[in-house]
Chain A
Amino acid sequence: MNIIVCVKQVIDPEAPPASFKIDAATNKAEMKGAAPVIDPYGEYAVEAALKLKEARGGKITILTLGVNLLREVVKKPLAMGADELILLEDEIFTSGDNGSIANALALAIKKKGEYDLILCGREASDTNAGQTGPAIAELLGIPCIILARKIEPIDDKIKVERVNSLGYDVIESPLPAVVTVSNEVGQPRYPTIKGIMAAKKIEPIIWKAGDIGYETGISNKTKLQKLFQPVHEAKCEFAAGETPEEMAVNLALKLREAKIV
């Protein structure tokens, strides 16, 4: 089974919220003092691909689009066990809206050719949109299943368990298809020393706009007008006491008094 996983580099979404800053002039966000990481849900998608490869064999190609890509970051999926890394590293890809990015990914997937399954994370930790997977499916004219917690190949089809708010749906789809992956698929594995050594030897393939025929790829359907940090002002009243037990008693008294519980 040939699997393509789309995964990007992001600012660390799990750094303490207090280190999150926005540069108002450029509408760009950063996590002060934290290094960039592979997008967490993209990592779950890599994990799902590795599970399929273990069960069925095949090849895993990682597709990463962005600028200022740090090699030690974007190579992590290789260190986890993926076979090949293609970097779409060209400023033009990020100069339009999110549709431009889906266009570039779809063109790269077409250029790559042979694929049975395309995996993405359920939503990126920066845009929180969850649109790239479905957009690629539409651009390629293939089925799309979102929020997978389990992917199982059966003959020339796949069976997917799709998370919902009550439990899950079981979905069957012909291949090729796009599937977006949720955390219920299982914790991404840590790269092994062997994996890290192997990844060192793999040179990423770099494709620019010209390599994938991107001439008409830029989309400007949406525009970011403003990016801001919402203010929330809660003042926490700490329960007094010498011991945790005393504090607990005081909390209970306080909550009862305020008719909160």
Chain B
Amino acid sequence: MSEYKGVAVYCEAKNDKILPIAAEGLGIGRKLAESLGQELAAVIIGDKALAQQAIAAGADKAYVIEDAQLKEYQPDAYISALEKAIKQIQPQIVILGQTDSGRELVTRLAYRLNTAATLDCVDLAIDTGTKRLLQTKPVYGGNAQAVIITETDPQIVTIRTKAFAALTPDASRKGEVVSIPAGLDSSIIKAKIVNRVVEEVAGIKLEDARVVVAGGRGIGSADGFKQLDEMAKLLKGAVGASRPACDNNWISDTAQVGLTGKIIAPEVYIAVAISGSSQHMSGCSGAKTIVAVNKDKEANIFRHARYGVVGDWKKVLPAFVQKLKEL
């Protein structure tokens, strides 16, 4: 195992910028590399211009895989490209984001490298004795957390969004940029993305909103969600939902908050007629203040909320909105 050294972070990018989660990966990657006394590498697919962004965010070195075939995202091609890069870099630890593509690439990448992956980590640290990576991830829908160790190298993980802090970018940081030829054969693409459909609603994005008004099964209808939408507009926020509300088509699937939906950390999360299942709370427990409206005093949501009203939302919401307008 000794030939593996250093920490590598796969830096996903969009519109010529590395994603915030890539910077978060470099942030924790920097810490891990320092406690191992080793280097931090960034792995970039696409444009050399991204290398300096990764270096500014903490990388000592940036490996860039450039290939015309990688211009558009195709999982099969990206897995092969990353496999090649990781075999060349030989890092001890590989970090990806738990994003649409990260969760798709990571397990198959781990199999190609004859090792194992741990997904959706919320804490990472080096064991002082063994020097192995302690990987903490939520399990049982957030009811519990597991600390997992990978015995083989590289130790591969994905990280949950907003679970780790990025460093303040330092544009003056210097680092080496290494180009890796992908050498891809187009026949490796078996499952092929032929179209991408964007469904997300206009307005403030759920992930970026300061205030989120979210509705659950107790809202009962698409009309009910219109009321939440009005309240969200008043508060300059966005509307979120629990899974049953999305499954019932009262609101778009892209509004789902939770373990299998979006993970958000707004300033204020107003949960209306949501019971507060562990899976739902996985997506919003990072909110600074949770406010809950529920007719059941025993609902689990009140164990997470800072402020609460026990009552029927149909009576509570209009009066609440009216008062806010007056204030």
Chain A residues near B (Cβ < 8 Å): 11, 13-14, 16-18, 20, 22, 29, 97-99, 122-123, 125-131, 134-135, 137-139, 142-146, 149, 160-174, 177, 182-184, 187, 219-230, 232, 234-239, 243-249, 251-256, 260-261
On whether the beta carbons of A225 and B307 are closer than 8 Å, the reply is no
The CB with the most chain A CB atoms within 10 A, among B300, B317, B320, is that of B320
Question: What residues of A have a CB within 8 angstroms of the CB of B12 in the complex?
Answer: none
On whether the beta carbons of B149 and A225 are closer than 8 Å, the reply is yes
Question: What residues of A have a CB within 8 angstroms of the CB of B302 in the complex?
Answer: 236, 238
On whether the beta carbons of B139 and A221 are closer than 8 Å, the reply is no
Known: A130-B103, A173-B192, A221-B150. A143 touches B260 (CB 8 A): no
Known: A138-B112, A164-B100. A14 touches B144 (CB 8 A): no
The one of A125, A165, A232, A256 in contact with B140, judged by C-beta atoms closer than 8 angstroms, is A125
Question: What residues of A have a CB within 8 angstroms of the CB of B140 in the complex?
Answer: 11, 13, 20, 29, 125-126, 128
Interface of B is mostly: mixed
Determine whether B197 belongs to the interface, using a CB cutoff of 8 Å to chain A: yes
On whether the beta carbons of B262 and A183 are closer than 8 Å, the reply is no
Interface of A is mostly: mixed
Which residue of B has the minimal Cβ distance to A129?
A: B119
On whether the beta carbons of B150 and A123 are closer than 8 Å, the reply is no
Known: A20-B144, A125-B140, A244-B315. A239 touches B309 (CB 8 A): yes
The one of A144, A183, A245, A253 in contact with B260, judged by C-beta atoms closer than 8 angstroms, is A183
Given contacts A171-B192, A224-B148, 15 further A-B contacts (CB under 8 A): A17-B143, A17-B278, A125-B279, A130-B103, A138-B112, A145-B191, A149-B253, A167-B196, A170-B195, A170-B197, A184-B246, A221-B151, A225-B134, A234-B290, A235-B306
Which residue of B has the minimal Cβ distance to A246?
A: B319
On whether the beta carbons of B200 and A122 are closer than 8 Å, the reply is no
On whether the beta carbons of B148 and A222 are closer than 8 Å, the reply is yes
Question: What residues of B have a CB within 8 angstroms of the CB of A144 in the complex?
Answer: 108, 191
Shortest CB distance A118–B (Å): 13
Taken together as a complex, chains A and B put the C-alpha atoms of A219 and B111 apart, in Å, by 12
Residue total for B at the interface (Cβ-Cβ under 8 A): 84
**Total number of residue pairs linking A and B with CB closer than 8 Å:** 241
Sample 7 A-B pairs with CB under 8 A, ordered by A number: A13-B141, A129-B119, A134-B107, A171-B191, A227-B144, A237-B308, A248-B319
Taken together as a complex, chains A and B put the C-alpha atoms of A162 and B306 apart, in Å, by 37
The one of A17, A126, A138, A146 in contact with B103, judged by C-beta atoms closer than 8 angstroms, is A146
Chain B residues numbered 239-266 whose CB sits less than 8 Å from any CB in chain A:
243, 246-247, 253-254, 259-260, 262
Taken together as a complex, chains A and B put the C-alpha atoms of A254 and B213 apart, in Å, by 17
Shortest CB distance A208–B (Å): 25
On whether the beta carbons of A261 and B268 are closer than 8 Å, the reply is yes
Taken together as a complex, chains A and B put the C-alpha atoms of A151 and B290 apart, in Å, by 38
Determine whether B35 belongs to the interface, using a CB cutoff of 8 Å to chain A: no
On whether the beta carbons of A261 and B324 are closer than 8 Å, the reply is yes
Determine whether B178 belongs to the interface, using a CB cutoff of 8 Å to chain A: no
Chain B residues numbered 179-229 whose CB sits less than 8 Å from any CB in chain A:
190-200, 211
Taken together as a complex, chains A and B put the C-alpha atoms of A181 and B111 apart, in Å, by 21
On whether the beta carbons of B291 and A251 are closer than 8 Å, the reply is yes
Known: A173-B192, A255-B291. A184 touches B253 (CB 8 A): yes
Question: What residues of B have a CB within 8 angstroms of the CB of A255 in the complex?
Answer: 291, 307
Question: What residues of B have a CB within 8 angstroms of the CB of A223 in the complex?
Answer: 148-149, 151
On whether the beta carbons of B285 and A232 are closer than 8 Å, the reply is yes
On whether the beta carbons of B138 and A128 are closer than 8 Å, the reply is yes
Question: What residues of A have a CB within 8 angstroms of the CB of B22 in the complex?
Answer: none
Write the B142-161 contact mask toward A (1 if CB under 8 angstroms, else 0). Answer: 01111111111000000000
On whether the beta carbons of A252 and B320 are closer than 8 Å, the reply is yes
Question: What residues of B have a CB within 8 angstroms of the CB of A220 in the complex?
Answer: 151
Taken together as a complex, chains A and B put the C-alpha atoms of A138 and B190 apart, in Å, by 13
On whether the beta carbons of B316 and A137 are closer than 8 Å, the reply is no
On whether the beta carbons of B145 and A244 are closer than 8 Å, the reply is no
Known: A128-B138, A172-B192. A256 touches B309 (CB 8 A): no
Chain B residues numbered 254-294 whose CB sits less than 8 Å from any CB in chain A:
254, 259-260, 262, 267-268, 276-279, 285, 289-292
On whether the beta carbons of B312 and A229 are closer than 8 Å, the reply is no
Shortest CB distance B127–A (Å): 9
The one of A126, A166, A177, A232 in contact with B200, judged by C-beta atoms closer than 8 angstroms, is A166
Taken together as a complex, chains A and B put the C-alpha atoms of A225 and B151 apart, in Å, by 12
Shortest CB distance B218–A (Å): 14
Taken together as a complex, chains A and B put the C-alpha atoms of A126 and B139 apart, in Å, by 6
On whether the beta carbons of B76 and A143 are closer than 8 Å, the reply is yes
